[in-house]
Every structure is written in structure tokens, then in C-alpha cells.
Amino acid sequence: MDKKTLTLGEFIIGNQDSFQYTSGELSRLLNGLRLAAKVVNHEVNKAGLVDIIGAAGDTNIQGENQQKLDVMANEKFIQTLSKREIVCGIASEEEDDFISINSFDKQHQNKYIVLIDPLDGSSNIDVNVSVGTIFSIYRRITPVGTPVTIEDFLQPGRNQVAAGYIVYGTSTMLVYTTGDGVNGFTLNPALGTFYLSHPDMEFPENGKIYSVNEGNYIHFPQGVKDYIKYCQEEEDDRPYTSRYIGSLVSDFHRNMIKGGIYLYPKSSKASEGKLRLLYECNPMAFLAEQANGKASDGFNPIMDIKPKELHQRVPFFCGSKKMVEKAEEFMALRA
């Protein structure tokens, strides 16, 4: 069968044996995420027609203003995963604490937890710019049959069993890995089905795009300033092109296809960085490494960090391997 005629459901089933745990639970979980993604996609695509854009009037645990679509996406993913009785716990960027889920007939027998950023880049909705969802899946480490605890969620990224994102753009794509490469699926809106459109996705080893909010340049560490100047020099294959959307999913997706680096360093305004380790950096780092890329905090691999709290923030450098390594060189010189 031609790879590009495969649906996401067929692909998940066909590749189930390559996953070290073959109980079928992970397949059902991925299918649950697929269903929720289609519901959120439907709401995102009609955002300009109904009263669902703009601020919701509340702030999340990070002190950020919640958008109406943030709230909607958060509810849809939590409801879908909870009702299908396939996870024992969920942590969301939009929730203060994790959610323990007790299936009525299983008494905490499910083995997987999900960490999720329901709508990354949601502030871009009002101006019709691409947004996305980021998810990360782990096996619980506390005994099956007991309620989940914070320790189940504070696992290093190396323990992830699956991660991915959905980008709601000119087309809607679901991109994910279970540790055996990265594959992308595009939604056919007429049929409501995701088809394998981007098999075996990989970052080019080098690239010509750097993605950083240069409006914060004055607040960046000197190593980052030096690297940005390096990107702008007219030498060899430089200067590089600056492309920054402000939606991590969209910037990551473009850079993986075309070759580039995404930087969100710490700064004098955000001493620990801004991106969340568990909801954004770890899943993107897993994808990057599986796609021949690299992700670090400027010095060390992101997935080697032992999380200390649910909403921990870290600096983030991610993309084509040689570009990330060059940025790390500049960081080391100024350490």
C-alpha cells in the first residue's frame, strides 16, 4: 500500500508492534487525541464567525490572560481523554494542578498520563495566524491501581513514550513520534480523516532560518546576542533569514521542514526562560531528536532535565543539529 494512502488510524495499528508496550492502550490514547484535535480544529476554523475569539477574562497559573479558545480547547481535550477511560492522569498548561482520573470499572488501572498545551500561540487567533496543540505521553511510575501523584508527571523527557503536536494552519496536520521516527498526517476536511502526508520527517542537518523574538534582544544573555550577530553576518552561507511567528508549533514545523533553529532563551525579563518544560519543551525535544535535530537549554539536552515542578520554565534552543550546536558554542564562550 502506498504510504500516502494510509490513514492515521491504520498507521497507528500497523505500527503498534514496533512499540515496546503492545497492549493497545497507547493506540487508543493516540486515537483519542486525534478525535479531540478534529473537534478543536472545527472550532478554530469558525472562530471568526462565532463569539469565541478574544480574552476569556481569566488568567492561567502562569499569570497569562486566557483566550476563549484556550478554555474551549482545554475542556475538549480533557473531556475526550477522560470519557474514553484511557488515561489515569492529565496535566494541562491551563490548569493549576494535575487531574487524577479514576475509571469507574478499573480503579486507576490505566497506565498512561498526558501533559498538554491545549492551544499554543492562542493570542494569534484574533489575527488568523496558525496555532497548535502540543502533547506528551508517559507511563506512570506509581503502582497501577493507586491514584496518580505529582511524581508521575515530574519525569525527565527521556521517559516519554510518545509526543506530538497538531498545527491548525492552511491545512491541519498531526505530527507525532513514539520513538521510531516522526510522521505527519494531514486532515482531509471533506472526509474528517487524517492521511499520512509527511512520512519519516527529518530536520536538515543545517539550515538558513533563525526564529527568535528580536524585540527582546537587549534583554538576552550575551551568548545569544553573539549568535544572532553570527546569523546576520555576510559570510559563507550567511546571513540567515529571520522568521518568527510567535507560535512554537508553527515555528518548529517550518524549521523541521526547511531547516532552522528556534530560540527562546532566558532574559533579564524572564530569568528562567518563558517556555514550559513539561508542556512545550520536552515534547518538542523528543520530536526534534527523533527527526535528526537537537534541543537544549543552551548547554545541556532538554530531555535530561529532571523536572522540579509542574509549570517549570526553561530556556529553549531547538532545531537543525549544526545550528543548535553552533548556538551552544556561543553560549559556552560567555558562560
Extract the annotated binding site. Answer: 93, 117, 119-123, 213, 244, 262-264, 274, 280
Residues marked as binding for Mg(2+)? 93, 117, 119-120, 280
User: Mapped to the 3 state alphabet, what secondary structure does the chain carry?
Assistant: CCHHHCEHHHHHHHCHHHCCCCCCHHHHHHHHHHHHHHHHHHHHHCCCCCCCCCEEEEECCCCCEEEHHHHHHHHHHHHHHHHCCCCCEEEECCCCCCEECCCCCCCCCCCEEEEEEEEECHHHHHHCCCEEEEEEEEECCCCCCCCCCHHHHCCCHHHCCEEEEEEECCCEEEEEECCCCCEEEEEECCCCEEEEEECCCCCCCCCCEEECCHHHHHHCCHHHHHHHHHHHCCCCCCCCEECCCCCHHHHHHHHHHHCEEEEECCCCCCCCCCCEHHHHHHHHHHHHHHCCEEEECCCCEHHHCCCCCCCCECCEEEEEHHHHHHHHHHHHHCC
**Which residues fall in the annotated binding site for substrate?**
120-123, 213, 244, 262-264, 274
